Amino acid sequence: MAASKCTQLTAALSRQLLDSVDCVLFDCDGVIWRGDQVIPGAPEVVSSLKKNGKQVFFVTNNSTKTRQMYADKLGKLGFDATADEVFGTAYCSAVYLKNVCKLDGKVYLIGSNAMRQELEDVGIRPVGVGPDPVSGGQKDWADVPLDKEVQAVLVGFDEHFSYMKLNRALQYLCNPACQFVGTNTDTRLPLEGGKAVPGTGCLLKAVETAAQRQAQVVGKPSSFMFECVASQFGLNPERCLMVGDRLDTDIMLGSNCGLKTLLTLTGVSTVAEAEANQKSECPLQQKMVPDYYIGSIADILPALQA
């Protein structure tokens, strides 16, 4: 194994690394696909890992799809995967509210229909999905009708995010007993051609600023994301590998949870950024240094098929 971190993964090191783990967790966008285009060789990697007796999971901060929707996409792209192997923030947020927060009331949801479905599947009643247009004036906004059964505010990606949703979340969160949860803090969603759109982190920061409260975040790099998988499948973190394309989410999750980490260069982060973090004396930046890096996840295929 490598003597130092941020080591390029060679064929020989690939075999050693794979022998040292029982489970591989993949981020999705930028690792096994880009948008709707599969990363060449990625389905073969997943299939070969399973044939070699490895457990495989897909761990994503995207809250716009249910587990089944992700399983359907994986199937269409040629992956051997089931919904039980998918852990997105829509599902993990529902698990967090049900099992950690012990929520027995309703949740005010700034989020998607997929999030609503995952919440309903664990027995939590969400309110607030869809547009919430502005009406009246400031006094009306401050006195906006609230559902007395709401015990938590959950913020995920919401294409209908608006001033009234921000205001309604604030009014709920003025009650200190109201719990406050966010799916993830990714501020930008990278698109093809170097373009980007605002991510969930922008919406969450707006609600945090208005409410003057900080949300409990369940998505990467929060350790809860791994704990959600590990608790269901009895995983040993020392025998797990986190594969991702982002240093601040995927690699930091691995560091936070004691997993081995592998950065792929088919997505957002670069080796130069990882090496800059390695030279830093900042503990936070040190957590964003991968154990290994590789051009594409497909580069480990020869080691799997040997």
Query: What is the set of active-site residues?
Result: 27, 29
Residue 220 annotated as part of some ligand binding site? yes
CB 225 within 8 A of CB 185: no
Neighbours of 163 (CB within 10 A): 12
For every residue of the chain, DSSP letters joined together read --SSSSEE--HHHHHHHHHT-SEEEE--BTTTEETTEEPTTHHHHHHHHHHTT-EEEEEE---SS-HHHHHHHHHHTT----GGGEEEHHHHHHHIIIIIS---SEEEEES-HHHHHHHHHTT-EEE--S-----S-HHHHHT----TTEEEEEE---TT--HHHHHHHHHHHTSTTSEEEES----EEE-GGG-EEE-HHHHHHHHHHHHT--PEE-STTSHHHHHHHHHHHT--GGGEEEEES-IIIIIHHHHHHT-EEEEETTSS--HHHHHHHHH---HHHHTT--SEEES-GGGGHHHHH-
Residue 27 annotated as part of some ligand binding site? yes
CB 165 within 8 A of CB 110: yes
Residue 291 annotated as part of some ligand binding site? no
Residue 29 annotated as part of some ligand binding site? yes
What residues are designated binding site?
27, 29, 220, 245
What residues are designated binding site for Mg(2+)?
27, 29, 245
What residues are designated binding site for substrate?
220
